[in-house]
Amino acid sequence: MSVPRPTSADIASLATELGYAAVADSAVQYTAMISGMLGVYDALDAVPEPAVLPGRPPVDFRRPTVEEDPHHAWEVYTSIPGAESGPLAGIRLGVKDSIMVAGLPMTNGTDVLAEFVPSIDATVVTRALAAGAEIVGKTTNEYFCMSGGSHTAHSGVVHNPHRPGTSAGGSSSGSAVALVTARLT
């Protein structure tokens, strides 16, 4: 689907409407600049759609209890074994909740996506499993990964295990806490 190109008149009219007189005076230059940028969309439109890879069969998962995860580092626990050998064999991997893992919920820190369960793995997940890693869960991240704190995830605050009452960092707050609390190897 090609993105329609604005004309110089479109740019000038919009600029005037928004109170940008200098832009209206330079509408021809802005039109050329915008057309050049929109060429990227044309190139993307020309790329064939990728074949959809079949996902893994449904996996068992569960939400951790407060006793198991007092710092709220985890969205879900699971066990998805990787290849029997490889450079990551024996590594227990927590995947940030902004990354697709087939069969596991992916909220990306927001209740807007609370019901979303992807049917395919992100490339990084496919590669980690092929290299032998075991996925042991999804770690909590901040609301759409848009906070440097640890207080915006829809599922609750991620607590700093070493300094209660202070931030665990963000947007990968759950990943940081999972590492320092030794649930990952």
82 shares a domain with 17: no
Model confidence pLDDT, tens digit, residues 82-98: 999 999 999 999 999 99
What is the average per-residue pLDDT within 53-75? 86
Tell me which of 110 and 34 has the higher pLDDT.
Answer: 110
Residue range(s) defining the domain that contains residue 174 = 61-180
Tokens of 21: 């007189």
Mean pLDDT confidence for 60-73: 94
What rounded mean pLDDT belongs to the chain? Answer: 87
Whether the CA torsion 113, 44, 36, 12 is positive or negative: it is negative
Q: Please report whether residue 149 resides in a domain.
A: yes
Q: Are 121 and 33 in the same domain? A: no
Assigned domain for 52 exists: no
H or E stretch at 15: helix 8-18
Number of H helices, E strands in the chain: 5, 4
Phi, psi of 35 (to 5 degrees): -60, -40
The reply to whether 67 and 141 lie within a common domain is yes
Beta-sheet strand order (sheet of 61-62): 61-62, 74-80, 134-139, 92-96
